[in-house]
Amino acid sequence: MEYPDAYDVLAEKHNQSKSVRYRKILELLMTQIQAQIAVLLPATPEDLSTKLNIDLSRVRNEIHDLFVKGVIIPKDFKTMEGARFCRTVLQLHDASEANARLDPTIEPELLDAWEDFCQKEWYPQRAEEFAKRDIPRDRVIPAYKSVKDIPGLTRYDDVREILRAAPLIAVVPCSCRRQVRHSKTIVESCLQFGRSAEYAIARGSGRQVSYDEAIKVVDRAEEDGQVHTWPNERTLSYGVMCNCTRDACVAWTPIIQQGLSPLKRAAKSRFQATVNQDVCSGCQQCIDRCQFDAIDMVKFLGAKKLKAAVQADKCAGCGVCVIACEPRALSMELVRALEHIPEHRPVLAQ
């Protein structure tokens, strides 16, 4: 039986039918027979064997290989029952690159293909999507050490309470950092919870960690200047916590490239950084760590050196500047009520 070009069909599912670059990614991820299988899923292995005229054992092996590569996601991670092709470009991007056991013979070419597609085609598309959002769907969670002693801290602001509520935790490599070969900060910093963690562990793209181990991951991320992002709603239950920097992020990078505010990606936390100019040494380390361009060096009357000054309208309250301030001139203030956090996550603009 003749079938339409499988790569074209799969690209069309992600609204990328005209993209030569996206097709290259699909070809790197899948053989032709695997692409045909991905198109026909969620057909059973028995049906696939008949339709494609290949041995049943081979079908099962090909499905498992697609699962490990991050191309398909089954309902049952053990039996592969109900497997389907990734729903979106973002899902395929994250799953295929955040893979702890990526084939080293194909990894550089695949990462380069993703970077080429992102920079030339996908990032402008993503920036348009973010520009339409009146309220960000994600929110900044402050660095724990910057807010841990502030009265009014709730479980929705507390990264440790979010980790404590997770039934299962896995840490996986950050797909964005792998893509650009980021060497400035820790790469194994994305955390997945619940079913998402089960998925990462089952296919070997990540590893299970305890609560204490997860704390070490977020502590290291904060030390590196990474910003925790979480759904913009009052919840402790979600599949993924990203720890991001604007120079290696599939969400922030396109926003910055198009001149949009980084706050289009994630809403502010309930906190804000403030500076005691009398204590500030003018070292400018906070300038380098701020992902939101919210700190300037200003000449104050009577001061011999420039001092840090926080622009309240730009500060997202991430706290990564505070924990790195050696003179302890920076601190956090609770400036927004609990009502700042929506009860339910804002819906996407149509």
pLDDT for the residue numbered 348: 73
pLDDT for the residue numbered 349: 59
User: Rounded distance, CA 318 to CA 341, Å?
Assistant: 15
User: Rounded distance, CA 35 to CA 30, Å?
Assistant: 6
pLDDT for the residue numbered 1: 43
User: Rounded distance, CA 90 to CA 71, Å?
Assistant: 12
Residue 317's nearest CA partner among 182, 166, 151, 141 is 141
**pLDDT per residue rounded down to tens, the chain (350 residues):** 445 799 999 999 999 999 999 999 999 999 999 999 999 999 999 999 999 999 999 999 999 999 999 999 999 999 999 999 999 999 999 999 987 666 666 788 999 999 999 999 999 999 999 999 889 999 999 999 999 999 999 999 999 999 999 999 999 999 999 999 887 778 889 999 999 999 999 999 999 999 999 999 999 999 999 999 999 999 999 999 999 998 889 999 999 999 999 999 999 999 999 999 899 999 999 998 999 999 999 987 777 789 999 999 999 999 999 999 999 999 999 999 999 999 999 887 55
- The pLDDT tens digits of the residues spanning 234-278 come to 999 999 999 999 888 999 999 999 999 999 999 999 999 999 989
Q: How many CB atoms lie within 10 A of CB 72?
A: 26
pTM of model > 0.95: no
- Tell me the domains of the chain and their CATH numbers: 6-127 (1.10.10), 133-267 (no CATH), 268-335 (3.30.70.20)
Q: Collapsing DSSP states into helix, strand and coil, what is residue 208?
A: strand
φ and ψ at residue 129, rounded to 5 degrees: -65, -45
Query: The tokens of 66 are what?
Result: 């697609």
User: Rounded distance, CA 298 to CA 306, Å?
Assistant: 5
User: Rounded distance, CA 150 to CA 334, Å?
Assistant: 8
* Angle, CA 184 vertex, CA 283 and CA 168 arms, to 5°: 115
DSSP secondary structure, 105-141, as one string: TTHHHHHHHHHHHIIIIIHHHHHHHHHT-SS-SEEEE
